[in-house]
Amino acid sequence: MLIIAGLVGVGLAMGGLALVFKRMQTLSSFLGLAFLPLVAAPVDRYPLLKLLPVAHGNALLRSVLVGGRSVFTEPLELLILIGVSAAYVVVGVVMFRLMERQARDRALLGQY
């Protein structure tokens, strides 16, 4: 669920951008392909990858399923995942609200 929360935040930001800039199909396709390498990202070698929406959650999931460890053995890693996911959701909601207000001010929502 925490992995999906980061993606929901990114999706809300993209939805807000799509309200203002109508042609977002190419960017959304590119963004979908950009998430694929994050599934297998080496988070243990590059700790900054923990800040990306999918990488850290999949690394934790992999350590639980393959390594046989519990998620609760490393509570700091779980807290980092919760914080990063919450940050993506908050930024996505704020960006969607800002773009929605801008689209409403420009009268771009009449066709929806």
Tell me the residue range of the domain where 31 lies: 2-105
Whether 112 is in a domain gets the answer no
Tokens 């001010």 found at: 105
Distance between CA atoms of 15 and 112, rounded to whole angstroms? 13
9-33 b/e with 16+ CB inside 10 Å = b?
bbbbbbbbbbbeeeeeeeeeeeeee
pLDDT per residue, tens digit, the chain (112 aa), is: 788 998 899 999 988 888 888 777 777 778 778 888 888 888 889 989 889 888 888 888 888 888 888 888 888 989 999 999 999 999 999 999 999 999 888 887 775 5
What pTM was estimated for this model as a whole? 0.84
Whether 44 maps to a domain, the answer reads: yes
Q: Are 3 and 85 in contact (CB under 8 A)?
A: yes
- Which two structure tokens, joined as six digits, stand for 60? 């934790």
Residue 111 in domain: no
Closest CA to 12 of 108, 97, 103: 97
pLDDT tens digits along 30-59: 877 888 888 888 888 998 988 988 888 888
User: What is the per-residue pLDDT for 111?
Assistant: 59
Per-residue pLDDT at 112: 55
Domain count, the chain: 1
